[in-house]
Amino acid sequence: MSTIKVTLKDGTVREYSKGVTVQQVAEDISPGLARAAVGGEIDGKPADYLTLIEKDVDLNLVKFEDENGKIFLRHTGSHILAQAVKRLYPEAKLAIGPAIKDGFYYDIDTDHPFIPEDLEKIEAEMKKIIKEDLKVSKFELPRDEAIEFVKKHGEDYKVELIEDLPEDAHISFYQQGEFVDLCAGPHAPSTGRVKAVKLMSVAGAYWRGSEKNKMLQRIYGTAFEKKAELQAYLDKMEEAKKRDHRKIGKEMDLFSIQDEGPGFPFFHPKGMVIRNELENFWRQEHVKRGYDEIKTPIILNEDLWHQSGHWDHYKENMYFTQIDEGNYAVKPMNCPGSILVYKRKMYSYRDFPLRMGELGLVHRHEMSGVLHGLMRVRCFTQDDAHIFMLPEQIKDEIIGVIDFVDFVYKKFGFKYHVELSTRPEDSMGTKEEWDLATDALREALDTRGLDYKINEGDGAFYGPKIDFHLEDCIGRTWQCGTIQLDFQMPQRFDINYVGADGEKHRPIMIHRVIFGSIERFIGILIEHFAGKFPLWLAPVQARILPISEKHYEEAAALRDKLAAEGIRVELDDRSEKVGYKIREAQVQKVPYMLIMGDREIEENNVNVRNRDQGEMGAVAIDKLLAQLKEEIGSKALPEEATPQV
């Protein structure tokens, strides 16, 4: 029998007979390692313990804490869920059940509508299956035999899935105990490796995501290797519920989504304060970095979107209208408008880099089922910028944007990680152009010394991109900033500049956002700070609380004094006890409560209560004003901005 070489993560090389399994290699290395790992990666791709190794490979054994390790465990969790459902509801038909971020789901067709009590029963049965520690095995069948096999078990959805595969395909199945499921894997070695499970919710889901198909029931769950890890996750989810931006947004009267405009947010006066402060900050920092602000129309001729490539690659997400019998589109992106601004004149190489920033309102058609507060909407404002530059300026401009993103995210207390996304199947341009653009982004990241992950095939249709995923205070990540390097749009719009040789040349273009979407960024900030915004962003920065009616006149005078100095201040002159007023101000997340009574008026001070620190004692009014202005100017974070759950 021929031998193969297996190169391990530490660089050591071992020889085995061809057809050895990943599990056999793991056991040969160390029985303890074999028990600790949940699977492997062959040449960087997930491969469970049952995978046969037929050639020389690089092999890395993965544990649950590794990214792919979670996939092994949670995919097995989805099969445990399906097995439990079939035990309790034998008539149920199974659709698909993948691992997803933080958990798994399974789509199920049954006439029995699942309610919370049913989820408790299913979860209890799942725990029995885990305790049984059923070994996971795998077998393959030719396509025709596979179809007959699933037909015999009455699994109509599996039949449809197999019929979509090539006729010469060998179809894989995974088995644990009496349960067999059509599946490509990967899985953990046994059900007992899934030490802790929790079913989270049930929702409707159309088969294959099409409204034309039957509505199935989708049960969501999560799985962990240790019960303590599950409890920590559940604690985080409970904290996330408290921080839900829709709940806090309503309590603080920041924004709303009306039935008359699903997916189109309404910003209320206090929400507009936050928005305006963010936009003012954006403008100030862009001026410092040499950007010129522009504004382009929301509706532009349909021909423009054919020229840009959006018609071929994005029209399903666009809105259209007619004007004077001509066809127009509501812009889903700002870049074609920026290019039209560029084309109004001929630039010289001396004008570069040319940086154009735009707070541009865009509209994109999103399915109603994915709309979610400010996080997923149908209209939003991108903090766009388009940089036109010479080829030799690419690296410095990309590094400049990276540094800008770093500055902004640190201002709000965010950590972040970076991904480099490469050419998708649906793309424009040549391989050579894409390789050149991708290498330029990679070189800038390496020069900046940033760790990054390669996200194969997830670039924009016109160029590769760097994506910034910020991490909020409870560990969730959000993709916000992006840098896209584009060789295609300058060609499609035939834009030029005059070089040092007096000839016309083609500029290179960067598309970039930092907030991403103003609306979404506000939603993230609401949840990150739990509504307790830093003073410079707080809709109301101070609230004056007179103890009784006889103090109203002096309290109103103080309100006017603070307002004249630019402080956003309110006066609570209701006939309520001061304790009640304090509690109301706390609910509204007001940073400073200024209490006024006889003594404070006599001594020309106020008794200050801080939202996060509690009682601060008496402070002279002029000193307080100076402190407020200093804190606002520093844009300091509140003390409780970054609790780790």
Q: Tell how far CA 264 is from the center of its chain.
A: 20
The yes-or-no answer on residue 480 being catalytic is no
Q: Tell how far CA 368 is from the center of its chain.
A: 18
Choosing from 465, 512, 520, 532, the catalytic residue is: 465
Cβ neighbours of 330 (radius 10 Å): 18
**What is the pairing mode between strands 3-8 and 57-62?**
parallel
- Which percentage of the chain shows pLDDT scores above 90? 78
Q: Domain check: are 281 and 200 in the same one? A: no
Vertex 538 angle, CA 537 and 541, to 5°: 125
- Which percentage of the chain shows pLDDT scores above 70? 99
For residue 428, what pLDDT is reported? 79
The yes-or-no answer on residue 423 being catalytic is no
Q: Domain check: are 135 and 266 in the same one? A: no
Tokens describing residue 527: 């949840």
Q: Domain check: are 161 and 24 in the same one? A: no
What is the spatial distance between Cα 470 and Cα 547, in angstroms, rounded to a whole number? 44
pLDDT tens column, 586-598: 999 999 999 999 9
**Looking at this protein, which amino acid is placed at residue 314?**
Y
318 falls within a domain: no
Q: Is the pLDDT of residue 168 over 70?
A: yes
Q: Is the pLDDT of residue 638 over 90?
A: no
236 falls within a domain: no
Q: What is the CATH number of the domain that holds 75?
A: 3.30.980.10
What is the spatial distance between Cα 74 and Cα 105, in angstroms, rounded to a whole number? 9
Q: Among 15, 40, 61, which residue terminates a domain?
A: 61
The yes-or-no answer on residue 511 being catalytic is yes
pLDDT tens column, 494-542: 999 999 999 999 999 999 999 999 999 999 999 999 999 999 999 999 9
pLDDT tens column, 180-198: 999 988 999 999 999 999 9
237 falls within a domain: no
For residue 641, what pLDDT is reported? 43
**Mean pLDDT throughout 284-310?**
95
The yes-or-no answer on residue 306 being catalytic is no
What is the spatial distance between Cα 250 and Cα 231, in angstroms, rounded to a whole number? 29
Choosing from 48, 118, 383, 384, the catalytic residue is: 384
429: nearest Cα among 394, 458, 397, 464 = 464
- What letter does residue 420 receive in the DSSP assignment? E
pLDDT tens column, 89-107: 999 999 999 999 889 999 9
What is the spatial distance between Cα 104 and Cα 123, in angstroms, rounded to a whole number? 14
Q: Among 61, 78, 111, which residue terminates a domain?
A: 61
**Mean pLDDT throughout 395-408?**
95
What is the number of domains present in the chain? 4
Q: Domain check: are 211 and 275 in the same one? A: no
**Do residues 509 and 536 lie in contact, with contact meaning Cβ atoms separated by under 8 Å?**
no
**Mean pLDDT throughout 552-556?**
95
Q: Is the pLDDT of residue 290 over 90?
A: yes
**Mean pLDDT throughout 322-329?**
94
Q: For residue 455, name the pLDDT band (cuts at 50, 70, 90).
A: confident
For residue 123, what pLDDT is reported? 97
Q: Domain check: are 39 and 107 in the same one? A: no
Q: Domain check: are 220 and 281 in the same one? A: no
Q: What is the CATH number of the domain that holds 487?
A: 3.30.930.10
Q: Which residues pair with 107 in a beta bridge?
A: 218
Name the H helices within 493-644. 518-529, 552-564, 578-587, 598-603, 621-634
Choosing from 176, 382, 393, 484, the catalytic residue is: 382
Q: For residue 463, name the pLDDT band (cuts at 50, 70, 90).
A: confident
Choosing from 386, 528, 532, 568, the catalytic residue is: 386
The yes-or-no answer on residue 491 being catalytic is no
Choosing from 511, 532, 543, 559, the catalytic residue is: 511
What is the spatial distance between Cα 162 and Cα 196, in angstroms, rounded to a whole number? 32
Ordered strands of the 614-620 beta sheet: 569-571, 542-546, 592-596, 605-610, 614-620
Q: Domain check: are 462 and 555 in the same one? A: no
Choosing from 187, 198, 218, 335, the catalytic residue is: 335
Q: Is the pLDDT of residue 611 over 70?
A: yes
Q: Domain check: are 336 and 408 in the same one? A: yes
pLDDT tens column, 564-576: 999 999 999 999 9
Domain that holds residue 464: 251-298+331-529
Q: Is the pLDDT of residue 644 over 50?
A: no
Spatial CB neighbours of 252, under 8 Å, sequence gap ≥ 6: 270, 531, 539, 588, 589
Kind plus residue range of the DSSP H or E element containing 71 = helix 67-88
**Do residues 108 and 205 lie in contact, with contact meaning Cβ atoms separated by under 8 Å?**
no
**Do residues 385 and 482 lie in contact, with contact meaning Cβ atoms separated by under 8 Å?**
no
Q: Among 529, 557, 584, which residue terminates a domain?
A: 529
Tokens describing residue 144: 């025709």
Q: Domain check: are 117 and 41 in the same one? A: no
Cis ω on the peptide bond leading into residue 643 (within 30° of 0)? no
Q: Which residues pair with 470 in a beta bridge?
A: 416, 478
Query: Residue 391 region, left (φ>0) first, then alpha (ψ -120 to 50), else beta?
Result: alpha
For residue 645, what pLDDT is reported? 33
For the chain, give the mean pLDDT. Answer: 92
Q: Domain check: are 491 and 360 in the same one? A: yes
Q: Tell how far CA 439 is from the center of its chain.
A: 25
524 falls within a domain: yes
520 falls within a domain: yes
106: nearest Cα among 152, 155, 164 = 155
Q: Domain check: are 581 and 628 in the same one? A: yes
pTM over 0.85, yes/no: no
Cis ω on the peptide bond leading into residue 186 (within 30° of 0)? yes
What is the spatial distance between Cα 98 and Cα 105, in angstroms, rounded to a whole number? 6
**Mean pLDDT throughout 306-325?**
90
- What letter does residue 169 receive in the DSSP assignment? P
Kind plus residue range of the DSSP H or E element containing 118 = helix 116-132
Q: For residue 639, name the pLDDT band (cuts at 50, 70, 90).
A: low
pLDDT tens column, 438-452: 998 999 999 999 999
For residue 1, what pLDDT is reported? 60
**What is the pairing mode between strands 347-348 and 326-330?**
unpaired
**Do residues 478 and 424 lie in contact, with contact meaning Cβ atoms separated by under 8 Å?**
no
Tokens describing residue 12: 């050591």
**Do residues 147 and 159 lie in contact, with contact meaning Cβ atoms separated by under 8 Å?**
yes
305 falls within a domain: no
**Looking at this protein, which amino acid is placed at residue 505?**
H
What is the spatial distance between Cα 535 and Cα 444, in angstroms, rounded to a whole number? 35
349 falls within a domain: yes
pLDDT tens column, 226-259: 999 999 999 999 999 999 999 999 999 999 999 9
Q: Is the dihedral of CA 258, 263, 266, 272 positive or negative?
A: positive
Q: What is the CATH number of the domain that holds 626?
A: 3.40.50.800
**Mean pLDDT throughout 473-487?**
88
169 falls within a domain: yes
Choosing from 363, 364, 520, 543, the catalytic residue is: 364
Q: Domain check: are 190 and 256 in the same one? A: no
For residue 416, what pLDDT is reported? 93
The residue behind tokens 């959006």 is: 310
